[in-house]
Chains A and B, each alone.
Chain A
Amino acid sequence: MFHDIWKTFLGFLQGFGAMSLFFLRLLQYTPAVLVTRFRLVFYQVYNAGALSIVIIMVCGLFVGGVLGLQAYSNLERFNAEDTTGIFAGFALIKEIGPVITALLFAGRAGTALASEIGLMKATDQLSAMEMMAVDPLRYVAVPRFLGGVISVPLLTAIFTTIGLLGSHLVAVELLGVDVGAYWQQLQNALDMEDVMEGIYKSITFGIIASLLAVWEGYNSVPTAEGVGRATTRTVVITAIAVLIFDFMITAWIL
């Protein structure tokens, strides 16, 4: 039994090492790709963004709304409903915006990336590029990785903004919190550091979600079943990694 656990652990280390190497190679090619293939990167930002934006907006609105509801119903008991904006705003900016955006991105764009790359592999498109003396890492992997890395922080900003709007709608328009108090309280309480925390997180999560999606696709078993498995793994592993990193970043900043 210990032998099995040991083997699993070694396998995990091996996979982690291989992925780190893959990550370094992506970074190594990044400057050249940004200069010579910016069009591809731009297209991938558009692609990943366009895939995710509607779901990001809808979810942002409802998550903001529910935060407004929860904050209000608790604060009301202490006659502190004027501070609803603080609670909803802090939660959105520091935690929920970056985390949920990353999870939604993984579910929508990450799966699409992984299955797209996996299918390209299964249909020999990556080998064909190799044979045409074009490095698929540069042509396929890096632009998609960068597209994700750029999109996630932008999507997080959109999610958070719409979320604030959603909690405003619930707290102010529905439950009658004073509109001046709602925004004034949030503005007074919010520091630049809080906003930066959200930004750091969204950048980290963007890297994690994009790296895992591209990695899973690139290393999928080139069969219909293998591509399906890679797609599922993308969502599961991204979710776990994002939540672990969220805890670590929060603990580190506090």
Chain B
Amino acid sequence: MTLSDTLIELRDVDFSRGDRPIFRDLNLTIRSGEVTAIMGPSGTGKTTLLQLITRQLSPDSGQVFVAGDDIARYGISELYRMRQRMGMLFQNGALLTDMSVFENVAFPLREHTKLGERLIRNVVLLKLQAVGLRGAAGLMPSELSGGMARRVALARAIVMDPALLIYDEPFVGLDPISMGVIAKLIRQLNDALGITSIVVSHDVKEIGEVADYSYVIADGKVAASGRPAQLRNEPSELVRQFMLGLADGPVAFHYDAPDIEEQFIGSKPD
């Protein structure tokens, strides 16, 4: 693999929250131009991984490379320049509640460019058109449904023409139609804009249809990786449990509890 087709690389990354290790020796690469899925049970650290890639958090040890640079070395202005090349879709959109849909999408342009009002208007409406919400420009975030809010956030994420789009759980809490719309948009934007996409999800079915490559994260490590079709034939118990949605397996259905007989009978009043 040449350097040019690797956009992001995590090398031997360790990260803990307090005393609790989240990642140990995590190694992972994201290739340019592809849609890469990050899958795994809730609480395994998928969001944390995204925060490491964008340097909202820094690893305890190990390195994160973006476009060949070790981002730990970046000063604040370089970091902000890097983030301007990234668009991130937060789980619930994270639209700024005190401005309209139009102003939300215009926000990065107003902050980082000196474009005139006419040009801003055209760019914003164009991006809203791309997510099918040009007609919603005048609404406030509180007037949007969950799916719409996420699409507006997507328009905002692409307004600066980023090279990388990051989606954190884009399907959670959406109805099947909105899910399909978002999945289609992820694929479309990736190919039409010629960018790279990272999609965090535990929705095996939806993500399987759009991802070029997938990682399954469990217990602080990459448990499996490959094309989505390959993963379905993965021998690992844990990956099978996850991919097929089985209730019991290496990830137990029961949370640790005292012995059942002892607890029920022991507490019987006499």
Residue positions of A touching B, CB distance < 8 A: 119-120, 123-125, 127-134
Contact = CB atoms under 8 A, between A and B. Distances in A.
Contacts of B84: 132-133
A127 B90 contact: yes
A130 B88 CA distance: 10
Contacts of B184: none
B4 interface: no
Given A133-B112, A134-B111, A128 B90 contact: yes
A132 B97 contact: no
Contact of B56 (A119, A120, A123, A130): A130
A125 B97 contact: yes
A130 B111 CA distance: 12
A208 B122 CA distance: 44
A133 B83 contact: yes
A128 B111 CA distance: 13
Contact of B111 (A123, A124, A125, A132): A132
18 contacts: A119-B97, A120-B96, A120-B97, A123-B92, A123-B94, A123-B97, A124-B90, A124-B91, A124-B92, A125-B94, A125-B95, A128-B153, A130-B56, A131-B56, A131-B83, A132-B84, A132-B111, A133-B111
Q: Quick one: which of B84, B92, B94, B112 has the most chain A CB within 10 A?
A: B94
A133 B107 CA distance: 11
Contacts of B95: 125, 128
Nearest to A128: B94
B220 interface: no
B86 interface: yes
Contacts, number: 47
B93 to A, nearest CB: 8
A119 to B, nearest CB: 8
B81 A125 contact: no
Contact of B83 (A119, A123, A130): A130
A133 B94 contact: no
Contacts of B74: none
A123 B94 CA distance: 6
A123 B95 CA distance: 8
Interface string B48-82: 00000010100000000000000000000000110
A170 B91 CA distance: 59
> Which size class do B's interface residues fall under?
20 to 34
Nearest to B111: A134
B108 interface: yes
Contacts of A129: 96
A176 B175 CA distance: 73
A131 B54 contact: yes
A47 to B, nearest CB: 10
A131 B86 CA distance: 8
Contacts of B94: 123-125, 127-128
Given A132-B108, A133-B83, A125 B54 contact: no
Given A123-B97, A125-B97, A128-B94, A133 B81 contact: yes
B155 to A, nearest CB: 13
Contacts of B90: 124, 127-128
Contacts of B107: 132, 134
Nearest to B87: A131
Contacts of B91: 124
Nearest to B168: A124
Nearest to A131: B88
Given A131-B54, A133-B84, A134-B107, 7 more contacts: A124-B91, A125-B94, A127-B90, A128-B88, A129-B96, A131-B83, A133-B112
A135 B55 CA distance: 14
Interface string B172-191: 00000000000000000000
A120 B141 CA distance: 13
A133 B85 CA distance: 10
A125 B92 CA distance: 10
Contacts of A123: 92, 94, 97
A227 B28 CA distance: 36
A120 B86 CA distance: 21
Interface in B103-144: 107-108, 111-112
A24 to B, nearest CB: 17
Nearest to A134: B111
Contacts of B81: 133
B56 A132 contact: no
Going nearest first, the 7 A-B pairs with the smallest beta carbon separation are: A124-B94, A128-B94, A133-B80, A124-B90, A131-B88, A133-B83, A133-B84
